[in-house]
């Protein structure tokens, strides 16, 4: 009922709709309408009540609830099933559980806060309440399992495009999956897979987007390496609308990959990269070395030119080395 009331208030945006009209359209008493309006107000909806004119929605809270997401969603597949938590351990853990139980492709898990948000290489992920987008998407792609790492690159392209277009922020991708602004991390992506030898059962793409975290809210160990859209732009942005934009972009790139393969997306990844052409340090599973990042190959691996030749980086941590100041002496 509250969803229907909200829908009617939204279609009369900027105008009033009387309690009598609402009660007639929804076939409930005016008292019932009044009670639902009160509970919406308690949830943070700013609804103006005028004694003669009725109700008018002034502002919706920036919540990532299914009700709000459905009202702005433009994607067809991604977000077709939404699991929402105020607090959860990790959206990736929940998404993996749902995927193992057979949830449909396109299911998303979203939370206002995570208590044990997980990052790559067994690191944690800072996920404070109502300040970011902590999101996991379940895909069941028709690719070979060896193709899965490229899904991370695909997601990085989609999120970068969404942030660039929606927030007008020139962020870029550090190989393989970090989105940086001004050298600091804005977004992290954690892709997890369950597969047979020759088929993927499911892939969970987890995305952590630092949206409205103020610089002083980052814990000390992240203060120098993390940033947010708020810190970069100087003003908050709507998490809800950015989330819907990300789902639209991700759906588009995913459908393109299913239709045409990964090649066009890898080309797009290169244009959005902040790694290529840079001096880098590579910390691999067994060794460390330095060189210059040249390109990515058709598997999405990073090719690094070193003193001893060209090296292919499949896994590990790559950091961009600051440029040495020119020596004028
Ligand atoms: C990284 O850069 O190390 C990846 C960070 C991924 C964080 C996101 S937040 C939503 C999803 N749930 C998790 O527990 N992790 C991912």
The residue whose C-alpha atom lies closest to atom 3 belonging to ligand 1 is 119
Mutation to probe ligand 1, out of 107, 118, 120 (largest number of atoms < 8 A from CB): 118
Candidate from 188, 191, 203 with most ligand 1 atoms within 8 A of CB, to mutate: 188
Confidence of residue 280 (pLDDT cuts 50, 70, 90): very high
Between 96 and 39, the more confident residue is 96
Atom of ligand 1 nearest to the CA of 90: 14
Nearest one of 142, 146, 116, 156 to 249, comparing CA atoms: 156
Tokens coding 121: 């290489």
Structure tokens at 276: 């290529």
Residues 131, 212: Cα–Cα separation, whole Å = 5
Mean pLDDT of 303-308: 95
Residue 327 pLDDT greater than 60, yes or no: no
pLDDT value of residue 74: 96
Any ligand 1 atom below 6 A from CB of 208 = yes
Question: By mean pLDDT, which of 13-17, 137-141, 268-272, 305-309 is the weakest?
Answer: 13-17
65 C-alpha to ligand 1 centroid (Å): 19
144 Cα to the center of ligand 1, angstroms: 24
Q: pTM for this one?
A: 0.87
Q: How far is the CA of 190 from the centre of ligand 1 (A)?
A: 5
Instruction: Give residue 324's pLDDT.
Output: 63
| Ligand 1 atom 15 nearest Cα | 118
Whole-number pLDDT of residue 326: 54
Residue 111 alpha carbon, nearest atom of ligand 1? 10
**The three-state (H, E, C) secondary structure of 245-310, written as one string:** HHHHHHHHHHHHHHHHCCHHHHHHHHHHECCCCCEEEEECCCCEEEEEEEEECCCCCEEEEECCEE
137-158 residue pLDDT tens: 999 999 999 999 999 999 999 9
Checking if the pLDDT of 47 tops 50, the result is: yes
Q: Which residues contact 109 (CB under 8 A, 6 or more apart)?
A: 83, 84, 85, 88, 91, 92, 94, 95, 98, 135, 136, 138
Q: Map residue 322 onto helix, strand or coil.
A: coil
Ligand 1 pocket, residue 91 CB under 6 Å:
yes
Mean pLDDT of 165-169: 97
Domains of the chain: 2-59 (1.10.10.10), 66-272 (3.30.930.10), 279-322 (2.30.30.100)
Residues of the chain with pLDDT > 90, as a percent, come to 84
């Amino acid at each position: 009922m509250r969803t229907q009331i909200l829908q009617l208030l939204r279609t009369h945006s900027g105008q009033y709709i009387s309690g009598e009209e609402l009660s007639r359209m929804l076939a409930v008493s005016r008292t019932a309408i009044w009670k639902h309006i009160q509970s919406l107000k308690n949830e943070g909806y700013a609804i103006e009540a005028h004694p003669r004119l009725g109700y008018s929605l002034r502002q919706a809270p920036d919540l990532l609830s299914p009700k709000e997401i459905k009202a702005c969603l433009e994607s067809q597949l991604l977000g077709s099933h939404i699991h929402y938590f105020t607090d959860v351990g990790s959206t990736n853990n929940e998404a993996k559980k749902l995927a193992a139980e057979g949830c449909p492709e396109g299911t998303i898990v979203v939370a206002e806060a995570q208590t044990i948000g997980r990052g790559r290489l067994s690191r944690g992920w800072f996920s404070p309440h109502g300040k970011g987008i902590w999101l996991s998407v379940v895909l069941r792609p028709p690719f070979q399992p060896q193709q899965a790492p490229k899904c991370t690159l695909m997601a990085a392209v989609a999120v970068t495009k969404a942030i660039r277009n929606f927030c007008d922020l020139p962020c870029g991708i550090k190989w393989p999956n970090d989105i940086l602004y001004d050298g600091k991390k804005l977004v992290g992506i954690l892709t997890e897979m369950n597969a047979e030898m020759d088929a993927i059962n499911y892939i969970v793409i987890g995305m952590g987007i630092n949206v409205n975290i103020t610089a002083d809210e980052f814990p000390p160990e992240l203060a120098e390496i993390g940033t947010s859209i708020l810190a970069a732009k100087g003003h908050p942005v709507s998490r809800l609308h950015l989330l819907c934009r990300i789902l639209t972009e991700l759906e588009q790139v995913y459908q393109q990959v299913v239709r045409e393969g990964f090649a066009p997306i890898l080309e797009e990844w290169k244009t959005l990269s902040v790694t290529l052409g840079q001096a880098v340090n590579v910390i691999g599973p067994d060794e460390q070395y330095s060189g210059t990042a040249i390109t990515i190959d058709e598997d999405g691996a990073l090719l690094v030119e070193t003193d001893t030749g060209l090296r292919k980086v499949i896994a590990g941590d790559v950091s961009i080395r600051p440029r040495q100041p020119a020596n004028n002496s």
